[in-house]
Amino acid sequence: MSHLKKIVFLVIVLTVLVSCKAGSKEKSCAPNCQYSDLVVGLLQTGSEGGWRAANTASFKETAEQLGLTLKFYDSQNDLAKQVAGFQQFVEDPEVNVIVLQPLEVTGWEQVMKDAQEAGKTVVLSDRRIDGLEDYYVTFIGADFVEEGRKAGREMCALLDGSESKKVWELVGNVGASAAIDRGVGFRETAKECGIEVTKSQTANWSVVDGKQVTEAWLKETKDVQGIFGQNDEMAFGAIEALKEAGLTPAVDVKLISVDATAGAFQAMLDGTLNVTVECNPLLAPQVYEAALAAMNGETLPKWIPSEESIFFMDDPNLQSIADGRKY
């Protein structure tokens, strides 16, 4: 091969290499990206209950409907696994969007910086993290503090007129924003009517742990007027424990939970749960829409709160509401 041909060949090779490298760093489809251009790496917490199942279904079904590519990573409720999964997506040249549903509020600094360096678009979903606002385009999720406030207000209403207002709290994963913030909000409004949170302990969002923790507390005392489960599953565990201790749930002891899953509607229809505060798991359409907008260069608000309601055992329309729900 002549000298000139060698130089031309090398220039072509270098051009291809540089453009490939640049491609993995830039939104190569911008400003006309379509959903079909998105390759989304989703870091899911795990499969800990009804809310999570509905949330996972939302991401998988919506990805298919929109025609985007979804790479799903199950962190199995293990923070180290979730951070490792995040790094895998940073290093995956096909992935241009990373969606993080963080198990805990801390532990993200290095991988978030690596993602920015690699030119990935990062969207926070479901739960928030501490700081690092410059490293994600937006957070789409509930106002957990307000969910806690709603639960506190409703517990005040349920205990109105009660001589004693001792309430026990079943907490989600320690370090999760949903657990931290719901606890803050609940105490803000519960204290306004004289509620005392006399016991509070993690039950890891689960039925089994919710039952075990409540059983242990009941062995110490039955002087409790209300139980606040930070999610439905933990409240279901408390209901089982109360029944086995000879107490009538929702009557002897008032119960409030968060999520408003199908199980909560059934518990209210069975007369064992007084109130459930909704937390919407069907976040995927908003998340994918935000990712596409960011890929096309739009600037988004740092937080897009989801809209939510409250549901009551005493609602005469409860059955028809339950029949009309997706999860």
Q: Which residues bind ligand GYE (CB under 6 A)?
A: 48-49, 51-52, 126-127, 178, 205, 231, 258-259, 279
Residue number with CB closer to ligand GYE (127 or 254): 127
Nearer to ligand GYE, 37 or 104 (CB): 104
Instruction: Give me the torsion for CA of 129, 109, 119, 68, rounded to 10°.
Output: -40
Is residue 243 within 8 A of residue 293, CB to CB? The reply is no
> How near is the Cβ of 106 to ligand GYE at its closest, in Å?
16
**Parallel, antiparallel, or unpaired: how do β-strands 275-278 and 310-312 relate?**
antiparallel
In the complex, minimum distance from the CB of residue 258 to ligand GYE, in angstroms, rounded to a whole number:
6
Hey, is 305 helix, strand or coil?
strand
Exposed, middle or buried, 228 (CB in 10 Å: 0-12/13-18/19+)? buried
Which of 198/266 has CB closer to ligand GYE?
Answer: 266
Q: Closest approach of Cβ 327 to ligand GYE, in Å?
A: 11
DSSP one-letter code for 249: B
- Minimum Å gap between C-beta 251 and ligand GYE is 25
Contact (Cβ atoms closer than 8 angstroms) between residue 253 and residue 237: no
C-alpha–C-alpha distance, residues 109 and 144, integer Å: 23
Closer of 124 and 258 to ligand GYE (Cβ): 258
Q: How far is the CB of 127 from ligand GYE (least distance, A)?
A: 5
By C-beta, is 231 or 274 nearer to ligand GYE? 231
